[in-house]
A = this chain, B = another copy of it.
Amino acid sequence: MIATGSRPFVLPIPGADLDGVFTISDLHKAIEIKKRISTGKVDKAVVIGGGAIGLEMAEAFKDLWGVTTTIVEFMPQVLPRIVDFPVASMVTKHMRDNEVDIFLGEGAEEILGKDGKVTGLRTGKRTIEADIVIMAAGVRPRSEIAGEAGLQLSPMGAIVVNERMQTSDPSIYAAGDCVEVMHQVTGKKFYAPLGSLANKEGRVAGDNMAGIPSKFKGAVGSFIMKAFDVCVGATGLSLEVALAEGFDADVALTAPSDRAHFFPTESIVCFQMVFDRRTRRVLGMQGFGPMGDGISARIDAAAAYISMGASIEDFANLEMAYAPPFSAAIDSINAAAYVADNLCDGRLRKTTIESFLAWMEDNSTQSDWIAFDIRHPLEAGPCVEKFGAEKWLAIPYNEVRDRYSELPKDKMLIILCDAGTRSFEMQSFLGSVGVENTLVLSGGFNMLRRIGIDWYPQA
Protein backbone atom coordinates (compact mmCIF):
# COMPACT_ATOMS: atom_id res chain seq x y z
CA MET A 1 0.00 0.00 0.00
CA ILE A 2 1.42 3.35 -1.10
CA ALA A 3 -0.03 6.61 0.26
CA THR A 4 2.81 9.06 -0.09
CA GLY A 5 0.62 12.09 -0.79
CA SER A 6 1.77 15.22 -2.55
CA ARG A 7 4.33 17.95 -2.10
CA PRO A 8 3.99 21.65 -2.92
CA PHE A 9 5.47 22.80 -6.20
CA VAL A 10 8.42 25.14 -5.63
CA LEU A 11 8.66 27.78 -8.37
CA PRO A 12 12.15 27.79 -9.91
CA ILE A 13 12.77 31.50 -9.40
CA PRO A 14 15.66 33.34 -7.76
CA GLY A 15 15.22 33.78 -4.02
CA ALA A 16 13.06 30.71 -3.50
CA ASP A 17 15.46 29.55 -0.79
CA LEU A 18 15.42 32.78 1.24
CA ASP A 19 14.39 32.72 4.88
CA GLY A 20 10.71 33.66 5.02
CA VAL A 21 9.65 31.76 1.90
CA PHE A 22 7.15 29.03 2.70
CA THR A 23 5.20 26.39 0.91
CA ILE A 24 2.06 25.00 2.56
CA SER A 25 2.24 21.29 3.13
CA ASP A 26 1.90 20.32 6.78
CA LEU A 27 1.11 21.41 10.29
CA HIS A 28 4.74 22.20 11.08
CA LYS A 29 4.81 24.90 8.41
CA ALA A 30 1.59 26.34 9.78
CA ILE A 31 3.01 26.46 13.31
CA GLU A 32 6.19 28.17 12.10
CA ILE A 33 4.25 30.79 10.10
CA LYS A 34 1.95 31.45 13.05
CA LYS A 35 4.96 31.85 15.35
CA ARG A 36 6.52 34.44 13.06
CA ILE A 37 3.31 36.42 12.90
CA SER A 38 2.59 36.22 16.62
CA THR A 39 6.08 37.45 17.46
CA GLY A 40 5.56 40.55 15.33
CA LYS A 41 7.89 39.58 12.47
CA VAL A 42 5.29 39.84 9.73
CA ASP A 43 3.72 43.11 8.61
CA LYS A 44 3.42 42.34 4.92
CA ALA A 45 2.73 39.04 3.20
CA VAL A 46 2.74 38.08 -0.46
CA VAL A 47 1.01 34.95 -1.63
CA ILE A 48 2.09 33.54 -5.00
CA GLY A 49 -0.88 31.77 -6.50
CA GLY A 50 -4.60 32.57 -6.50
CA GLY A 51 -5.81 28.99 -6.22
CA ALA A 52 -7.72 27.67 -3.22
CA ILE A 53 -4.68 27.38 -0.94
CA GLY A 54 -3.48 30.86 -1.90
CA LEU A 55 -6.86 32.46 -1.24
CA GLU A 56 -7.27 30.65 2.08
CA MET A 57 -3.79 31.70 3.20
CA ALA A 58 -4.51 35.31 2.21
CA GLU A 59 -7.77 35.28 4.16
CA ALA A 60 -5.99 33.89 7.21
CA PHE A 61 -3.21 36.52 7.03
CA LYS A 62 -5.67 39.37 6.70
CA ASP A 63 -8.64 38.22 8.74
CA LEU A 64 -6.90 36.45 11.63
CA TRP A 65 -3.76 38.58 11.90
CA GLY A 66 -4.39 41.88 10.15
CA VAL A 67 -1.31 41.44 7.97
CA THR A 68 -1.13 43.55 4.79
CA THR A 69 -1.60 40.87 2.16
CA THR A 70 -1.15 40.67 -1.61
CA ILE A 71 -1.92 37.82 -3.98
CA VAL A 72 -0.03 37.48 -7.26
CA GLU A 73 -1.60 35.14 -9.83
CA PHE A 74 0.01 34.31 -13.17
CA MET A 75 -3.33 33.59 -14.87
CA PRO A 76 -5.85 36.37 -15.64
CA GLN A 77 -8.23 35.18 -12.88
CA VAL A 78 -8.19 33.51 -9.47
CA LEU A 79 -9.13 29.82 -9.14
CA PRO A 80 -8.05 29.09 -12.73
CA ARG A 81 -9.53 25.96 -14.32
CA ILE A 82 -11.79 25.50 -11.26
CA VAL A 83 -14.27 28.28 -12.02
CA ASP A 84 -14.77 30.61 -14.97
CA PHE A 85 -14.40 34.37 -15.23
CA PRO A 86 -17.75 35.50 -13.71
CA VAL A 87 -17.45 33.48 -10.50
CA ALA A 88 -13.71 34.16 -10.25
CA SER A 89 -14.40 37.88 -10.61
CA MET A 90 -16.88 37.82 -7.74
CA VAL A 91 -14.33 36.12 -5.51
CA THR A 92 -11.66 38.65 -6.52
CA LYS A 93 -13.95 41.58 -5.75
CA HIS A 94 -14.88 40.15 -2.35
CA MET A 95 -11.23 39.57 -1.45
CA ARG A 96 -10.37 43.12 -2.54
CA ASP A 97 -13.35 44.49 -0.57
CA ASN A 98 -11.72 42.82 2.42
CA GLU A 99 -8.44 44.63 1.70
CA VAL A 100 -6.50 41.78 0.14
CA ASP A 101 -4.63 43.16 -2.89
CA ILE A 102 -4.83 40.90 -5.92
CA PHE A 103 -2.69 41.27 -9.06
CA LEU A 104 -3.84 39.05 -11.91
CA GLY A 105 -1.89 38.05 -15.00
CA GLU A 106 1.42 38.71 -13.25
CA GLY A 107 4.10 36.08 -12.90
CA ALA A 108 6.40 35.99 -9.89
CA GLU A 109 9.91 36.56 -11.33
CA GLU A 110 12.16 36.96 -8.32
CA ILE A 111 11.89 36.83 -4.56
CA LEU A 112 13.96 39.70 -3.20
CA GLY A 113 16.02 39.45 -0.03
CA LYS A 114 18.56 41.06 2.22
CA ASP A 115 20.93 39.21 4.56
CA GLY A 116 19.30 35.96 3.55
CA LYS A 117 15.82 37.16 4.54
CA VAL A 118 12.84 37.92 2.32
CA THR A 119 12.16 41.61 1.61
CA GLY A 120 9.78 41.45 -1.32
CA LEU A 121 8.61 39.98 -4.59
CA ARG A 122 9.28 41.24 -8.11
CA THR A 123 6.70 40.46 -10.77
CA GLY A 124 6.78 41.38 -14.45
CA LYS A 125 5.06 44.64 -13.56
CA ARG A 126 5.97 45.73 -10.03
CA THR A 127 7.87 45.11 -6.82
CA ILE A 128 5.89 44.31 -3.67
CA GLU A 129 7.40 44.56 -0.18
CA ALA A 130 7.05 41.46 1.97
CA ASP A 131 8.31 39.93 5.23
CA ILE A 132 6.94 36.57 4.21
CA VAL A 133 6.23 34.93 0.86
CA ILE A 134 3.89 31.95 0.51
CA MET A 135 4.31 29.80 -2.58
CA ALA A 136 0.89 28.30 -3.30
CA ALA A 137 1.51 27.21 -6.86
CA GLY A 138 -0.08 23.79 -6.70
CA VAL A 139 1.13 20.39 -5.62
CA ARG A 140 2.80 17.42 -7.31
CA PRO A 141 2.46 13.71 -6.49
CA ARG A 142 5.13 12.21 -4.24
CA SER A 143 5.67 9.14 -6.32
CA GLU A 144 9.44 8.65 -6.24
CA ILE A 145 9.24 5.38 -4.29
CA ALA A 146 6.65 4.03 -6.71
CA GLY A 147 8.75 5.11 -9.68
CA GLU A 148 11.90 3.51 -8.28
CA ALA A 149 9.93 0.31 -7.69
CA GLY A 150 9.13 0.27 -11.40
CA LEU A 151 5.41 1.03 -11.07
CA GLN A 152 3.72 2.84 -13.93
CA LEU A 153 3.46 6.62 -13.51
CA SER A 154 1.40 9.15 -15.47
CA PRO A 155 3.15 11.84 -17.57
CA MET A 156 2.85 14.26 -14.61
CA GLY A 157 4.24 11.64 -12.24
CA ALA A 158 1.10 10.34 -10.53
CA ILE A 159 0.82 6.60 -9.82
CA VAL A 160 -1.43 4.81 -12.29
CA VAL A 161 -4.13 2.72 -10.55
CA ASN A 162 -7.25 0.85 -11.61
CA GLU A 163 -10.76 0.99 -10.07
CA ARG A 164 -9.61 -1.25 -7.23
CA MET A 165 -6.67 1.08 -6.53
CA GLN A 166 -4.18 -1.52 -7.77
CA THR A 167 -0.98 -0.18 -9.30
CA SER A 168 0.64 -1.75 -12.37
CA ASP A 169 1.82 -4.43 -9.91
CA PRO A 170 -1.55 -5.86 -8.80
CA SER A 171 -0.19 -6.84 -5.41
CA ILE A 172 0.64 -3.20 -4.66
CA TYR A 173 -2.17 -0.72 -3.96
CA ALA A 174 -1.93 3.07 -3.90
CA ALA A 175 -4.32 5.81 -2.76
CA GLY A 176 -4.35 9.53 -2.02
CA ASP A 177 -2.61 12.57 -3.49
CA CYS A 178 0.01 10.38 -5.19
CA VAL A 179 -2.39 8.70 -7.67
CA GLU A 180 -4.38 9.77 -10.70
CA VAL A 181 -8.11 8.97 -10.92
CA MET A 182 -10.78 8.72 -13.60
CA HIS A 183 -12.70 11.91 -14.37
CA GLN A 184 -16.36 10.94 -14.58
CA VAL A 185 -17.15 13.63 -17.16
CA THR A 186 -14.21 13.38 -19.55
CA GLY A 187 -13.59 9.68 -19.05
CA LYS A 188 -9.88 10.51 -18.86
CA LYS A 189 -7.47 10.11 -15.98
CA PHE A 190 -6.68 13.31 -14.06
CA TYR A 191 -4.83 14.43 -10.97
CA ALA A 192 -7.14 15.47 -8.13
CA PRO A 193 -5.24 15.84 -4.83
CA LEU A 194 -8.32 16.34 -2.60
CA GLY A 195 -8.67 15.11 0.98
CA SER A 196 -12.19 13.82 0.40
CA LEU A 197 -11.05 11.62 -2.50
CA ALA A 198 -7.98 10.38 -0.62
CA ASN A 199 -10.22 9.06 2.16
CA LYS A 200 -12.55 7.28 -0.26
CA GLU A 201 -9.65 5.81 -2.24
CA GLY A 202 -8.11 4.57 1.00
CA ARG A 203 -11.27 2.70 1.95
CA VAL A 204 -11.49 1.08 -1.49
CA ALA A 205 -7.81 0.05 -1.37
CA GLY A 206 -8.27 -1.34 2.13
CA ASP A 207 -11.44 -3.21 1.13
CA ASN A 208 -9.70 -4.89 -1.79
CA MET A 209 -6.63 -5.77 0.23
CA ALA A 210 -9.03 -7.45 2.68
CA GLY A 211 -10.80 -9.33 -0.11
CA ILE A 212 -13.88 -7.08 -0.37
CA PRO A 213 -14.44 -6.18 -4.03
CA SER A 214 -15.03 -2.40 -3.77
CA LYS A 215 -14.52 -0.03 -6.66
CA PHE A 216 -13.54 3.63 -6.84
CA LYS A 217 -15.36 4.77 -9.95
CA GLY A 218 -13.68 8.14 -10.23
CA ALA A 219 -14.31 11.76 -9.39
CA VAL A 220 -15.92 14.94 -10.65
CA GLY A 221 -13.56 17.25 -8.75
CA SER A 222 -15.99 18.83 -6.28
CA PHE A 223 -14.58 21.95 -4.69
CA ILE A 224 -15.75 24.40 -2.04
CA MET A 225 -14.12 27.16 -0.05
CA LYS A 226 -14.87 29.98 2.33
CA ALA A 227 -13.47 33.42 1.54
CA PHE A 228 -14.29 35.94 4.28
CA ASP A 229 -18.11 36.21 4.20
CA VAL A 230 -18.72 34.32 0.99
CA CYS A 231 -18.55 30.80 -0.27
CA VAL A 232 -17.51 29.58 -3.71
CA GLY A 233 -18.01 26.05 -4.98
CA ALA A 234 -17.67 24.06 -8.17
CA THR A 235 -18.01 20.55 -9.52
CA GLY A 236 -17.34 18.92 -12.88
CA LEU A 237 -15.77 20.94 -15.70
CA SER A 238 -15.45 24.69 -16.04
CA LEU A 239 -16.38 26.18 -19.43
CA GLU A 240 -12.72 26.73 -20.21
CA VAL A 241 -11.79 23.13 -19.45
CA ALA A 242 -14.89 21.75 -21.20
CA LEU A 243 -14.01 23.64 -24.40
CA ALA A 244 -10.40 22.46 -24.18
CA GLU A 245 -11.70 18.88 -23.83
CA GLY A 246 -13.60 19.24 -27.09
CA PHE A 247 -17.14 19.55 -25.78
CA ASP A 248 -19.65 21.78 -27.60
CA ALA A 249 -19.86 23.62 -24.31
CA ASP A 250 -21.87 26.65 -23.28
CA VAL A 251 -23.01 28.13 -19.98
CA ALA A 252 -26.24 29.14 -18.30
CA LEU A 253 -25.65 31.86 -15.77
CA THR A 254 -28.27 32.82 -13.19
CA ALA A 255 -28.40 35.09 -10.16
CA PRO A 256 -31.62 34.26 -8.30
CA SER A 257 -32.67 34.31 -4.63
CA ASP A 258 -31.30 31.40 -2.62
CA ARG A 259 -34.57 30.84 -0.73
CA ALA A 260 -38.14 32.13 -0.64
CA HIS A 261 -37.98 35.86 -1.37
CA PHE A 262 -39.94 36.69 1.82
CA PHE A 263 -37.63 34.79 4.18
CA PRO A 264 -35.44 37.11 6.32
CA THR A 265 -32.07 35.57 5.40
CA GLU A 266 -32.86 35.52 1.66
CA SER A 267 -29.86 36.41 -0.44
CA ILE A 268 -28.74 36.46 -4.07
CA VAL A 269 -26.66 33.51 -5.24
CA CYS A 270 -24.95 33.12 -8.59
CA PHE A 271 -24.75 29.81 -10.42
CA GLN A 272 -23.15 28.91 -13.72
CA MET A 273 -24.12 25.61 -15.33
CA VAL A 274 -21.76 24.24 -17.97
CA PHE A 275 -23.42 21.98 -20.52
CA ASP A 276 -22.81 20.29 -23.84
CA ARG A 277 -25.13 21.69 -26.52
CA ARG A 278 -25.02 18.55 -28.64
CA THR A 279 -25.82 15.90 -26.00
CA ARG A 280 -27.46 18.26 -23.47
CA ARG A 281 -25.37 16.60 -20.81
CA VAL A 282 -24.52 18.82 -17.82
CA LEU A 283 -20.73 19.00 -17.53
CA GLY A 284 -20.23 21.25 -14.53
CA MET A 285 -21.69 23.70 -12.04
CA GLN A 286 -20.20 26.68 -10.21
CA GLY A 287 -21.74 28.77 -7.48
CA PHE A 288 -21.06 31.88 -5.42
CA GLY A 289 -23.06 33.11 -2.45
CA PRO A 290 -23.05 34.11 1.20
CA MET A 291 -21.16 31.92 3.67
CA GLY A 292 -23.22 28.95 4.82
CA ASP A 293 -24.17 25.57 3.41
CA GLY A 294 -26.46 26.84 0.65
CA ILE A 295 -23.84 26.64 -2.09
CA SER A 296 -22.78 23.18 -0.84
CA ALA A 297 -26.36 21.97 -1.22
CA ARG A 298 -26.43 22.85 -4.93
CA ILE A 299 -22.86 21.79 -5.71
CA ASP A 300 -23.26 18.44 -3.93
CA ALA A 301 -26.57 17.66 -5.64
CA ALA A 302 -25.00 18.67 -8.96
CA ALA A 303 -21.97 16.43 -8.27
CA ALA A 304 -24.27 13.45 -7.65
CA TYR A 305 -26.13 14.08 -10.90
CA ILE A 306 -23.06 14.90 -12.99
CA SER A 307 -21.31 11.70 -11.87
CA MET A 308 -24.35 9.82 -13.21
CA GLY A 309 -24.25 11.59 -16.60
CA ALA A 310 -27.40 13.62 -15.99
CA SER A 311 -28.89 15.86 -18.68
CA ILE A 312 -30.26 19.39 -18.57
CA GLU A 313 -33.76 17.87 -18.37
CA ASP A 314 -32.71 15.82 -15.34
CA PHE A 315 -31.47 18.99 -13.64
CA ALA A 316 -34.72 20.78 -14.53
CA ASN A 317 -36.61 18.09 -12.61
CA LEU A 318 -34.06 17.63 -9.80
CA GLU A 319 -36.14 17.55 -6.65
CA MET A 320 -34.47 19.89 -4.19
CA ALA A 321 -36.28 19.72 -0.85
CA TYR A 322 -38.43 22.82 -0.60
CA ALA A 323 -39.52 24.94 2.32
CA PRO A 324 -39.23 28.74 2.43
CA PRO A 325 -36.38 28.80 5.01
CA PHE A 326 -34.21 26.65 2.71
CA SER A 327 -34.97 27.22 -0.94
CA ALA A 328 -37.30 28.63 -3.54
CA ALA A 329 -40.06 26.47 -5.05
CA ILE A 330 -38.06 26.66 -8.25
CA ASP A 331 -34.60 26.09 -6.86
CA SER A 332 -31.64 27.96 -8.29
CA ILE A 333 -30.32 24.68 -9.72
CA ASN A 334 -33.61 24.11 -11.57
CA ALA A 335 -33.55 27.72 -12.77
CA ALA A 336 -30.07 27.25 -14.23
CA ALA A 337 -31.31 24.15 -16.07
CA TYR A 338 -34.30 26.09 -17.45
CA VAL A 339 -31.91 28.73 -18.79
CA ALA A 340 -29.70 26.04 -20.34
CA ASP A 341 -32.77 24.43 -21.90
CA ASN A 342 -33.88 27.77 -23.34
CA LEU A 343 -30.37 28.38 -24.72
CA CYS A 344 -30.15 24.96 -26.38
CA ASP A 345 -33.53 25.43 -28.05
CA GLY A 346 -32.75 28.97 -29.19
CA ARG A 347 -35.55 30.48 -27.13
CA LEU A 348 -32.98 32.54 -25.24
CA ARG A 349 -30.23 34.48 -27.04
CA LYS A 350 -27.62 35.89 -24.69
CA THR A 351 -24.42 37.79 -24.50
CA THR A 352 -21.74 37.19 -21.91
CA ILE A 353 -20.53 39.38 -19.09
CA GLU A 354 -17.10 39.42 -20.75
CA SER A 355 -18.49 40.73 -24.07
CA PHE A 356 -20.68 43.24 -22.29
CA LEU A 357 -17.79 44.57 -20.22
CA ALA A 358 -15.58 44.86 -23.30
CA TRP A 359 -18.31 46.88 -25.01
CA MET A 360 -18.69 49.17 -21.99
CA GLU A 361 -14.94 49.85 -22.17
CA ASP A 362 -15.22 50.72 -25.85
CA ASN A 363 -15.98 54.42 -26.20
CA SER A 364 -16.17 54.52 -30.00
CA THR A 365 -19.43 55.93 -31.29
CA GLN A 366 -19.63 53.37 -34.08
CA SER A 367 -20.87 50.58 -31.83
CA ASP A 368 -23.62 48.37 -33.19
CA TRP A 369 -24.87 47.63 -29.65
CA ILE A 370 -27.11 49.63 -27.34
CA ALA A 371 -28.02 48.87 -23.74
CA PHE A 372 -31.77 48.39 -23.25
CA ASP A 373 -32.42 48.82 -19.52
CA ILE A 374 -35.86 47.60 -18.41
CA ARG A 375 -35.38 48.24 -14.69
CA HIS A 376 -37.28 50.87 -12.68
CA PRO A 377 -36.56 54.45 -13.86
CA LEU A 378 -34.88 55.22 -10.51
CA GLU A 379 -32.38 52.43 -11.27
CA ALA A 380 -31.97 53.00 -15.01
CA GLY A 381 -32.05 56.82 -14.94
CA PRO A 382 -28.50 57.43 -13.67
CA CYS A 383 -27.08 55.16 -16.38
CA VAL A 384 -28.98 56.99 -19.13
CA GLU A 385 -27.72 60.27 -17.73
CA LYS A 386 -24.12 59.08 -17.54
CA PHE A 387 -23.83 57.26 -20.85
CA GLY A 388 -26.36 59.12 -22.97
CA ALA A 389 -29.37 57.80 -24.86
CA GLU A 390 -27.16 56.69 -27.77
CA LYS A 391 -25.55 54.05 -25.58
CA TRP A 392 -28.15 53.48 -22.84
CA LEU A 393 -31.85 53.30 -23.62
CA ALA A 394 -34.35 52.80 -20.80
CA ILE A 395 -37.98 51.67 -20.98
CA PRO A 396 -39.42 50.15 -17.80
CA TYR A 397 -40.41 46.48 -17.97
CA ASN A 398 -44.10 47.21 -17.59
CA GLU A 399 -44.11 49.77 -20.45
CA VAL A 400 -42.25 47.76 -23.08
CA ARG A 401 -45.42 46.17 -24.50
CA ASP A 402 -46.79 49.65 -25.28
CA ARG A 403 -43.59 51.40 -26.30
CA TYR A 404 -41.52 48.85 -28.22
CA SER A 405 -41.91 50.86 -31.44
CA GLU A 406 -39.44 53.37 -29.91
CA LEU A 407 -36.66 50.76 -30.07
CA PRO A 408 -33.94 51.22 -32.70
CA LYS A 409 -33.91 48.61 -35.45
CA ASP A 410 -30.33 49.09 -36.62
CA LYS A 411 -28.56 48.12 -33.37
CA MET A 412 -28.39 45.04 -31.21
CA LEU A 413 -30.34 45.67 -28.01
CA ILE A 414 -28.62 44.29 -24.90
CA ILE A 415 -31.56 43.76 -22.54
CA LEU A 416 -30.66 44.44 -18.91
CA CYS A 417 -32.48 43.75 -15.65
CA ASP A 418 -31.44 42.49 -12.20
CA ALA A 419 -31.41 38.71 -12.59
CA GLY A 420 -31.99 38.17 -16.31
CA THR A 421 -35.48 36.73 -15.91
CA ARG A 422 -37.48 39.80 -16.95
CA SER A 423 -34.99 40.35 -19.79
CA PHE A 424 -35.76 36.87 -21.13
CA GLU A 425 -39.48 37.55 -20.88
CA MET A 426 -39.05 40.79 -22.83
CA GLN A 427 -36.88 39.08 -25.46
CA SER A 428 -39.69 36.54 -25.93
CA PHE A 429 -42.29 39.27 -26.18
CA LEU A 430 -40.22 41.33 -28.62
CA GLY A 431 -39.66 38.24 -30.76
CA SER A 432 -43.43 37.76 -30.92
CA VAL A 433 -43.83 41.25 -32.43
CA GLY A 434 -40.99 40.84 -34.89
CA VAL A 435 -38.19 42.55 -32.93
CA GLU A 436 -35.34 40.02 -33.19
CA ASN A 437 -32.29 42.27 -32.65
CA THR A 438 -31.98 41.47 -28.92
CA LEU A 439 -29.55 39.72 -26.57
CA VAL A 440 -30.04 39.13 -22.84
CA LEU A 441 -27.23 39.83 -20.39
CA SER A 442 -27.22 36.63 -18.30
CA GLY A 443 -27.21 37.29 -14.59
CA GLY A 444 -27.89 40.99 -15.14
CA PHE A 445 -27.01 43.57 -12.53
CA ASN A 446 -27.06 40.96 -9.74
CA MET A 447 -23.94 39.61 -11.40
CA LEU A 448 -22.44 42.94 -12.53
CA ARG A 449 -22.58 44.38 -9.01
CA ARG A 450 -20.82 41.34 -7.59
CA ILE A 451 -17.92 41.39 -10.04
CA GLY A 452 -17.08 44.98 -9.18
CA ILE A 453 -17.70 47.27 -12.13
CA ASP A 454 -16.24 50.75 -11.73
CA TRP A 455 -18.40 52.51 -14.29
CA TYR A 456 -21.70 52.14 -12.48
CA PRO A 457 -23.08 55.58 -11.51
CA GLN A 458 -23.31 55.94 -7.75
CA ALA A 459 -26.57 57.33 -6.41
- Could you tell me which residues of chain A, from 301 to 335, have a CB within 8 Å of some CB in chain B? 301-305, 307-308, 310, 313-314, 316-323, 325-327, 329-331, 334
Stretch of A150-158, A195-203, A395-403 lying at the B interface:
A195-203
Please tell me if A280 contacts chain B, counting CB pairs below 8 Å. Answer: no
Give a binary string over A330-349; 1 marks a CB under 8 Å from any B CB, 0 the rest. Answer: 11001000100000010000
Contact B299 A203 (CB under 8 A): no
- Could you tell me which residues of chain A, from 200 to 224, have a CB within 8 Å of some CB in chain B? 200, 203-204, 212, 214-217, 219-224
**Contacts A215-B313, A313-B215, A329-B195; A318 near B304 (Cβ below 8 A):** yes
Please tell me if A226 contacts chain B, counting CB pairs below 8 Å. Answer: yes
Contact A216 B317 (CB under 8 A): yes
How distant is A47 from chain B, measured CB to nearest CB, in Å?
Answer: 17
Contact A222 B320 (CB under 8 A): yes
Contact B200 A316 (CB under 8 A): yes
Report B-chain residues with C-beta under 8 Å of the C-beta of A345.
Answer: 212
Please tell me if A357 contacts chain B, counting CB pairs below 8 Å. Answer: no
Contact A194 B322 (CB under 8 A): yes
Closest to A200 in B: B317
Please tell me if A233 contacts chain B, counting CB pairs below 8 Å. Answer: yes
Closest to A223 in B: B321
Selected from B291, B300, B310, B321, the residue in CB contact (under 8 A) with A320 is B300
Contact A320 B338 (CB under 8 A): no
- Count this chain's copies in the assembly: 2
Q: In the complex, A124 Cα to B303 Cα: how many Å?
A: 50
Please tell me if A408 contacts chain B, counting CB pairs below 8 Å. Answer: no
Contact B338 A203 (CB under 8 A): yes
Q: In the complex, A351 Cα to B203 Cα: how many Å?
A: 25
Q: In the complex, A251 Cα to B167 Cα: how many Å?
A: 35
Number of interface residues of A (CB under 8 A): 63
Report B-chain residues with C-beta under 8 Å of the C-beta of A431.
Answer: none
Give a binary string over A409-437; 1 marks a CB under 8 Å from any B CB, 0 the rest. Answer: 00000000000000000000000000000
Q: In the complex, A308 Cα to B219 Cα: how many Å?
A: 17
Report B-chain residues with C-beta under 8 Å of the C-beta of A305.
Answer: 304, 308
Closest to A259 in B: B293
Please tell me if A23 contacts chain B, counting CB pairs below 8 Å. Answer: no
Closest to A194 in B: B322
**Contacts A196-B331, A331-B196; A319 near B293 (Cβ below 8 A):** no
Contact A233 B199 (CB under 8 A): no
Contact A321 B200 (CB under 8 A): no
Interface of A (DSSP majority class): mixed
Q: In the complex, A107 Cα to B284 Cα: how many Å?
A: 50
Please tell me if A296 contacts chain B, counting CB pairs below 8 Å. Answer: yes
Q: In the complex, A197 Cα to B322 Cα: how many Å?
A: 9
**Contacts A301-B300, A301-B301; A196 near B322 (Cβ below 8 A):** yes
Q: In the complex, A215 Cα to B226 Cα: how many Å?
A: 37
Contact A300 B297 (CB under 8 A): yes
Closest to A195 in B: B329
How distant is A246 from chain B, measured CB to nearest CB, in Å?
Answer: 23
Closest to A224 in B: B321
Closest to A322 in B: B196
How distant is A181 from chain B, measured CB to nearest CB, in Å?
Answer: 10
- Could you tell me which residues of chain A, from 91 to 129, have a CB within 8 Å of some CB in chain B? none
Report B-chain residues with C-beta under 8 Å of the C-beta of A224.
Answer: 321-323, 326-327
**Contacts A216-B317, A219-B319; A199 near B329 (Cβ below 8 A):** yes
Selected from B294, B307, B319, the residue in CB contact (under 8 A) with A303 is B319
Please tell me if A292 contacts chain B, counting CB pairs below 8 Å. Answer: yes
**Contacts A224-B321, A308-B305; A293 near B326 (Cβ below 8 A):** yes
Measured CB to CB, the residues of A under 8 A from B are 52, 194-200, 203-204, 212, 214-217, 219-226, 231, 233-235, 291-294, 296-305, 307-308, 310, 313-314, 316-323, 325-327, 329-331, 334, 338, 345
> What are 8 A-to-B residue pairs whose CB atoms are below 8 Å?
A196-B320, A212-B345, A222-B319, A222-B320, A231-B326, A297-B297, A300-B300, A301-B304
